[in-house]
Amino acid sequence: MATKNVKFEDKMLELEHIIDELENGNLDLEDSIEKYTKAMKLVNECNEKLNDIESRIAKIIDEDGNESDLEVK
């Protein structure tokens, strides 16, 4: 699955599924490592997306159409 074009919510569902498989304990060592590696890749991609969204939300358009930083308290 090409994860760059996959929606954030779908990545989170896949991550939850992988976590369930790992917690189940029925995978052999090689499969566990493969699943863990995939999970970490998904975590990084989701973090990047969240950081991007946070940056976009922090910018607001004022009445004059100028961007200004939104102060988060």
Within 13 Å and on the Cβ side, how many CA atoms surround 7? 3
pLDDT digits (tens, 9 = 90+) for 2-33: 545 789 999 999 999 999 999 998 999 999 99
Q: For 25, left (φ over 0), alpha (ψ -120 to 50), or beta?
A: left
The average pLDDT across 29-49 equals 96
Model confidence at 55, in pLDDT bands (50, 70, 90)? Answer: confident
What pLDDT shows up at residue 56? 82
Query: Could you tell me if 42 and 11 are in contact, meaning their C-beta atoms sit under 8 angstroms apart?
Result: yes
User: Looking at the chain, how many residues does it have?
Assistant: 73
Higher pLDDT, 59 or 11: 11
Domain spans in the chain, listed from the N-terminal domain onward: 7-56
The C-alpha atoms of residue 51 and residue 47 are separated, in whole angstroms, by 6
